[in-house]
Amino acid sequence: MDRRSFIKKAGLAAGGVAATALAAPAIAQTQPKLNWRLTSGFPKTVLFFNPADVLAKAVSEMTDGNFTIQTFQNGEIIAQANVVDAIQAGTVEAAHTCSYYHFGKDPAFAFGTCVPYGLNPRQENAWFYYGGGNELLNAFYAKYNIYALPGGNSGTQMGGWWRKELKTVDDLKGVKFRVGGFGGAVLAKLGVVPQSIPAGDIYTSLEKGVIDAAEWIGPYDDEKLGLNKIAQNYYYPGWWEGATCCHFFFNTAAWAKLPKSYQAIVENAAAMANVKLQAQYDQENPAALRRLVAAGAQLRPFPDAIMDESFKQATIVCNEYSATNAEFKKFWDAVKPRRNEGFLWEQLSDFAYDSFMTTKQKAGLLL
């Protein structure tokens, strides 16, 4: 065989090997096949469930199907009340829920979602991503074998559906009110009797008179639950939920076993889900609110006397918890300056702009 023929044949052989090696992307060769289960704290009928599917879809697509996450709605495999225990024990690898549902374990859990008269959605994201909030949360969650990432915000919520009109603080006394999370502790100071009821049971509880009033999230989800059919007075704002952030919880052992590339993919997918939920609520709520009003809902602001007394009691409650709970104090001391600085800036930016544009909207000049 002459030299030219040998080189030609050798080159073809080498090319064949190279082509075979390149047929499977290099990254795919380092991606293990994984299948996780994620339990949601919400039913599929509400938007709060959506981030779980957004995360699962993005992770699967970014790993060419090598890393799949199967999502389950509340109660399908794990009940909302047992989410922390399930993650801690490794029963499931992941969950999507609101941290404050578990403040009964430790009131510090509230800060993963919100505290009454706390941060608004933008301030919350700023604190989580750039103000050390995520680091503080994960240092706290570590004792429960949880690693967490923000997973969607509803924005400021409504104040719920009430059978009677509220005029004074005394009108709150004795009212059995379905409310989620930490807000119930403050409302109790005002004489309200807080009731913890899952989304799927709110309508029936209100219809049967088990409760006198109920809040869930806002116009879009409230309409789907049909709460306006039972109570007509729709109050705002939901001061106990100025921002309501969900989180993805991951079992720390399962998280640690992920390749670094998978961890980065999950982090980016979670950030995508975080942005999309707020955007979806902002898209859907205005039209839903119009429909609710057309169907007879009476929009009412909480009276100033109730807002002022609620703010006073919220501050007292947070200071009381801080005096007896070091973890709560750590969070409260971090949130207060973030809140103060945030509203200092926003009165010159968003608030100033929004206030002006609202006057034009009311005058019918935005059409």
pLDDT value at residue 258: 98
Angle (CA) 233-234-235 rounded to 5° is 110
**Alpha carbon of 205 to those of 79, 112, 197, 210, 216: distances in Å?**
19, 28, 8, 5, 13
Establish if 341 belongs to a structural domain.
no
Burial class (CB in 10 A: 0-12, 13-18, 19+), 219: buried
Establish if 11 belongs to a structural domain.
no
For residue 218 the two structure tokens come to 């806002």
Q: Which of 14-18, 79-83, 98-102, 272-276 has the lowest mean pLDDT?
A: 14-18
CATH (domain of 267): 3.40.190.170
Mean pLDDT of 277-286: 98
Establish if 358 belongs to a structural domain.
no
Q: Find, among 276, 284, 273, the residue nearest to 247 by Cα.
A: 273
pLDDT tens track for 283-340: 999 999 999 999 999 999 999 999 999 999 999 999 999 999 999 999 999 999 999 9
pLDDT value at residue 199: 86
Residue 20 has pLDDT above 70, yes or no: no
Strands 34-40 and 193-195: unpaired
pLDDT confidence tier of residue 29, bands split at 50, 70 and 90: low
pLDDT tens track for 155-189: 999 999 999 999 999 999 999 999 987 899 999 99
| Long-range contacts (CB closer than 8 Å, 24 or more residues apart) made by 291-295 | 291/219, 291/223, 292/219, 292/222, 292/223, 292/228, 292/234, 295/228
Establish if 98 belongs to a structural domain.
yes
| Whole-prediction pTM | 0.90
Percent of the chain with pLDDT over 70: 92
Establish if 125 belongs to a structural domain.
yes
Strands 176-178 and 213-214: parallel
DSSP 366: -
pLDDT value at residue 280: 98
pLDDT value at residue 178: 97
pLDDT value at residue 334: 98
Q: Find, among 229, 232, 216, the residue nearest to 157 by Cα.
A: 216
Domain that holds residue 139: 33-154+243-282
pLDDT value at residue 28: 52
Q: Which of 2-11, 128-137, 269-278 has the lowest mean pLDDT?
A: 2-11
Establish if 8 belongs to a structural domain.
no
pLDDT value at residue 31: 86
What is the average pLDDT value for the chain, to the nearest integer?
A: 93
The Cα 216–Cα 238 span in angstroms is 10
The Cα 181–Cα 102 span in angstroms is 8
Edge to edge, the sheet with strand 34-40 lists 67-72, 34-40, 94-97, 245-251, 146-153
* Peptide bond preceding 259 in cis form (omega within 30 of 0): no
pLDDT value at residue 26: 52
Residue 46 has pLDDT above 50, yes or no: yes
Establish if 90 belongs to a structural domain.
yes
pLDDT value at residue 180: 83
pLDDT value at residue 7: 40
> Could you give the number of structural domains in the chain?
1
pLDDT tens track for 186-225: 999 999 999 999 888 999 999 999 999 999 999 999 999 9
The Cα 82–Cα 184 span in angstroms is 20
Establish if 291 belongs to a structural domain.
no
Taking each helix axis from N to C end, the angle separating 326-346 and 133-141, rounded to the nearest 10 degrees, works out to 160
